[in-house]
A and B are shown apart, each in its own frame.
Chain A
Amino acid sequence: MPDRASARSVVFAPLDPHSRAETVVRRLTDAITFGLLTDAEQLPSEADLAAQFGVSRVTVREALVALRHQNLLETRRGRGGGSFVRAPAGQADSSLRDRLSEISLPNLRDTADHYTAIAGAAARLAAQRATADDAQRIEELTGDRGRPLHRVERDFHLEVAAVAQSARLAREELRFGTELGTLLWSPLVRSAAVTCDAYAEHRAITAAIAAGDGDTARTLTEEHIEKAVERLVNLHLTLVDP
């Protein structure tokens, strides 16, 4: 049984500087795994990465070393040099499978509940506050099948939150887009479920928003996310050893 006092002392212990490097590693690994950073793409300079992540250059360097060890980056010296992404074919699937089989179902359920509350509320408010032009802007995002689904999903729900006139809900959408979205809308999860048509679901949500029907927009959005979570959970269960 854990000692409560010592558990509390852990909570308030100084942050380990290495955990920052790990966070950077995790962020970049995810980005490479999910194709946000593409093969052979050059990363920004160490100084730029440090500024963007809000960490020291030493932390960035430590993270880059770890990524090189995982063969996710290669470094070229000299003119035109820098850190370049290495994303061998097939790697995306296997990393995602590893991450999927590691997730905790209670945590996933809780994260998904939170996200459903955010996205559902945004859809309801969007229906109350959308002009015809706003509905049109959302509509434009529902047709483009040329882009990766997780990006389409992020842009769609972000636009809905913007139409809801809520900066806070939009910020939450941006956060969930990177935290949960890459997993929830990954191609791997979709290929496991042939019946999924996220685009048709977007169009139905958009129609409800355009019609000013907040309750329907909310319900459809909640179902849209619940279905994706269900697919993710089923895939997780097939990946976990019996």
Chain B
Amino acid sequence: MGQTTTRRAAGTALADHVTTLAEQTFATADGLRAAAEELFSGVPENALDLAALRPLVSAALGGLITGAGVITTPLADGIGALEWWMVTGPGERSRLDLDLDPASENFVDVARQAWFSAPRDTGRRHVTGPYVDYVCAEQYTLTFTVPLTRRGAFAGIAGADVFVGDFERALRPVLRGAGGPVALVNMQGRIVAGSTAHHITGSLIREPHIRAALADGVARTLTDGVTLVPCPNLPLAVLTWPTG
């Protein structure tokens, strides 16, 4: 019983740390959302120029955030607009150039991407990943997106990217201090970061009882001593396993 309490405390410490980092990242995305919505409200759709957001998008990069910006649903001409920037090297940034014209050969259908479709379908913020982002930075990534609205309707997303490697590094002190096996997982049971070789980033939790508990999303201790601590208002949770 004592061990379970300690393990759960370790899980809570990691969940708290994750929540802090995620909320900071979402705060950035939300700032971009507010600016984009204000821009939207001021002009007719055919005069919308997201370039006005560039200074804000540029300022969003740094720390854990390696990419940020705004992508809209198709505008009057049937083509979405985007203003998204990425860190491409030390002191180096580049603007993401996606072809959002459905008639084009190189069309990138952002509606297929969870970072776009999840906020659209739920009206809520979303953490996508860990996933291989072959559309933007070609890196293993977590993408934090919030829906942006225009006259009450979904009009696109604002978001920020964090490389999984950087996120893991930021969590490392807490992972190491957990005193036993611990892992941060998403709602699919995919491991974001773990403290043992068995719980390596990118692998899946296969055990049905743990997956069922994840789907419930309620803090609890399972019969085999595994504890689950959800990260509040995030599609992430921390699992701990008994030591020894």
A contact residues vs B (CB 8 Å cutoff):
36-38, 41, 52, 128-129, 131, 133, 137, 158, 161-162, 164-167, 170-171, 174
Known: A167-B138, A174-B138. A133 touches B105 (CB 8 A): no
Known: A129-B202, A129-B204. A162 touches B188 (CB 8 A): no
Query: What B residues does A167 contact at CB under 8 A?
Result: 132-133, 138-140
For B105, B133, B139, the residue with the greatest tally of chain A CB atoms inside 10 Å of its CB is B105
Query: What A residues does B69 contact at CB under 8 A?
Result: none
For B132, B134, B188, the residue with the greatest tally of chain A CB atoms inside 10 Å of its CB is B132
Question: Are A166 and B203 neighbours in the complex by a CB distance under 8 Å?
Answer: no
Query: What A residues does B130 contact at CB under 8 A?
Result: 165
Known: A165-B130, A170-B132. A129 touches B138 (CB 8 A): no
Complex alpha-carbon distance, A129 and B138, angstroms: 19
Question: Are A170 and B138 neighbours in the complex by a CB distance under 8 Å?
Answer: yes
- Identify A131's interface contact among B132, B138, B190, CB under 8 A: B190
> What total of chain B residues lie within 8 Å of the partner, measured CB to CB?
18
Query: What B residues does A129 contact at CB under 8 A?
Result: 190, 202-204
Taking the nearest CB of chain B, how far is it from the CB of A163, in angstroms?
8
Question: Are A36 and B138 neighbours in the complex by a CB distance under 8 Å?
Answer: no
Question: Are A131 and B188 neighbours in the complex by a CB distance under 8 Å?
Answer: yes
- Identify A165's interface contact among B132, B134, B138, CB under 8 A: B132
Closest to B201 in A: A165
A-B contact pairs, 13 of them (CB 8 A): A128-B204, A129-B202, A131-B189, A131-B190, A158-B134, A162-B132, A165-B132, A165-B140, A165-B202, A165-B203, A166-B140, A166-B202, A170-B132
Taking the nearest CB of chain B, how far is it from the CB of A32, in angstroms?
12
Taking the nearest CB of chain A, how far is it from the CB of B146, in angstroms?
22
- Considering the complex of A and B, which 9 residue pairs feature the smallest CB-CB distances, nearest first? A165-B202, A162-B132, A167-B140, A131-B188, A170-B132, A170-B134, A167-B132, A167-B139, A171-B138
B167 at the interface (CB under 8 A from A): no
Taking the nearest CB of chain A, how far is it from the CB of B153, in angstroms?
26
Query: What A residues does B154 contact at CB under 8 A?
Result: none
Query: What B residues does A158 contact at CB under 8 A?
Result: 134
Complex alpha-carbon distance, A174 and B112, angstroms: 19
Closest to A163 in B: B132
Taking the nearest CB of chain B, how far is it from the CB of A47, in angstroms?
13
Taking the nearest CB of chain A, how far is it from the CB of B202, in angstroms?
3
Interface set, chain B 130-181, CB cutoff 8 A to A: 130-134, 138-140
Query: What B residues does A174 contact at CB under 8 A?
Result: 134, 138
Complex alpha-carbon distance, A162 and B114, angstroms: 13
Query: What B residues does A128 contact at CB under 8 A?
Result: 203-204
Question: Are A166 and B188 neighbours in the complex by a CB distance under 8 Å?
Answer: no
Taking the nearest CB of chain A, how far is it from the CB of B187, in angstroms?
10
Question: Are B134 and A162 neighbours in the complex by a CB distance under 8 Å?
Answer: yes
Question: Are A162 and B131 neighbours in the complex by a CB distance under 8 Å?
Answer: yes
Query: What A residues does B189 contact at CB under 8 A?
Result: 131
Complex alpha-carbon distance, A52 and B189, angstroms: 38
Query: What B residues does A170 contact at CB under 8 A?
Result: 132, 134, 138
Closest to B132 in A: A162
